[in-house]
Amino acid sequence: MRAIAPPLPSLWNDLELSVELNAPLGALTWYRSGGCAEVLARPRTVDALATLLSRCHEMGTEVRVLGTGANLLVCDAGIDGIVVQLNEPAFCTAQWHDAHSSSGLTRLGAGAQLMPLTAESAREGLTGLSALAGIPASIGGAIRMNAGGAFGEIGTLVRSIEFVSSRGELSTIPACDLNFGYRHCTLPEGIVTAAHLALTPGDPVQIRAHLKEVSAYKKNTQPMRDNSAGCMFKNPVDPTTGARVSAGRLVDLAGLKGFALGSAYVSPVHGNFIALKDGGSADDVVALAHAVQQRVLEHSGIRLEREVVVWSIAHDVKGELR
């Protein structure tokens, strides 16, 4: 959907939600840089979200979803349309007790943040989420991109999701219809509101030990303190072998570690991280990402696909999630 006119207050003024106009989005992303949204809406109920999406669909108004801002870059000029953020209690609740029922499932709101949930799962004595320690995502965002790393992916835990379509229709989608793959799943257009995960009871001491192991691995191999959005590129498939290869390694081999363009630079710690100096320009990150893609293509013949999503006012530069 594209915004054909500035969003009208009639889209939301009778709904249970809060609205911020000309909302600065850059500060809500891990890059701490970027432009504003015409409208930032925070629904308080699923019904309010469903009605808002239905009205936006009818009026042709663009809707985007903001999670934790960890896999997102907002261009300096900002964006049009409506941005939805699910940070109200209705979308952030964790119902761990379901994991001890006959269903063996835990229900997590889509707006809940994954990193604190991994620690909570250890206290609950539930295994599964510890493999995702250190991944800064909302549950909804993590599902849409099948977030994961060397220790596992969230898609292996999902049994079903609660979903609101772009037309405002509520449904439950089983995991078998989501076709989880590497940094991908086949969600239709719309918004995840909750997920049901299969977490297994285990020894809290062992789970905490695994959390520490995964967290230590990330801290030792990634520039966690830099202003970045995590891995900029997906690990591509080598056309000669058919196997996935490290995007960071390809960037290293192209001699780009530490390479800078304006206020953005390739991390000297990990080649797949593009970081930004304090007060830097989001547009510099986009320009540097393009330059890295071109250099790697010239050096290795492999085209890198960006994992970080870029939002712009003219169009969203293709990527795989917010």
Q: Where in the chain is the domain with CATH 3.30.43.10?
A: 9-89
Q: Where in the chain is the domain with CATH 3.90.78.10?
A: 232-306
Q: Given the structure tokens 């663009």, which residue do they identify? A: 62
For the segment 5-13, the average pLDDT, to the nearest whole number, is 83
Q: List beta partners, residue 108.
A: 94, 195
313 pLDDT tier (thresholds 50, 70, 90):
confident
* Amino acid, single-letter form, for residue 310: V
Q: Residue 321 pLDDT more than 50?
A: no
Please say if 231 is a catalytic residue.
Answer: yes
**Contact at 8 Å (CB) between 211 and 133?**
yes
Report which of residues 222 and 261 the model is more confident about: 261
pTM above 0.85, yes or no: yes
Please say if 305 is a catalytic residue.
Answer: no
Please say if 183 is a catalytic residue.
Answer: yes
Give pLDDT tens digits for 80-124. Answer: 999 999 999 999 999 996 544 555 799 999 999 999 999 999 999
Rounded CA separation 208/239 (Å): 40
Q: How far is CA 302 from CA 245, 251, 256, 274, in A?
A: 10, 11, 15, 19
In this structure, whether the domain defined by 232-306 belongs to CATH 1.10.3720.10 is answered with no
Rounded CA separation 165/207 (Å): 36
Give pLDDT tens digits for 180-202. Answer: 999 999 999 999 999 999 999 99
For the segment 256-264, the average pLDDT, to the nearest whole number, is 97
CATH code: domain 9-89 is 3.30.43.10
Please tell me which residue in 42, 55, 183, 306 is annotated as part of the active site. 183
Q: Where in the chain is the domain with CATH 3.30.465.10?
A: 92-219
Mean model confidence pLDDT for the chain: 92
Please tell me which residue in 56, 231, 306, 322 is annotated as part of the active site. 231
Give pLDDT tens digits for 113-162. Answer: 999 999 999 999 999 999 999 999 999 999 999 999 889 999 999 999 99
8 pLDDT tier (thresholds 50, 70, 90):
confident
- Select the CATH number that applies to the domain covering 92-219 from these four: 3.40.50.880, 3.30.110.40, 3.20.20.70, 3.30.465.10: 3.30.465.10
Position 103 scores a pLDDT of 56
Position 211 scores a pLDDT of 93
Rounded CA separation 161/178 (Å): 9
Give pLDDT tens digits for 16-66. Answer: 999 999 999 999 999 999 999 999 999 999 999 999 999 999 999 999 999
Rounded CA separation 226/245 (Å): 24
Q: What is the CA radius of gyration of the chain?
A: 20
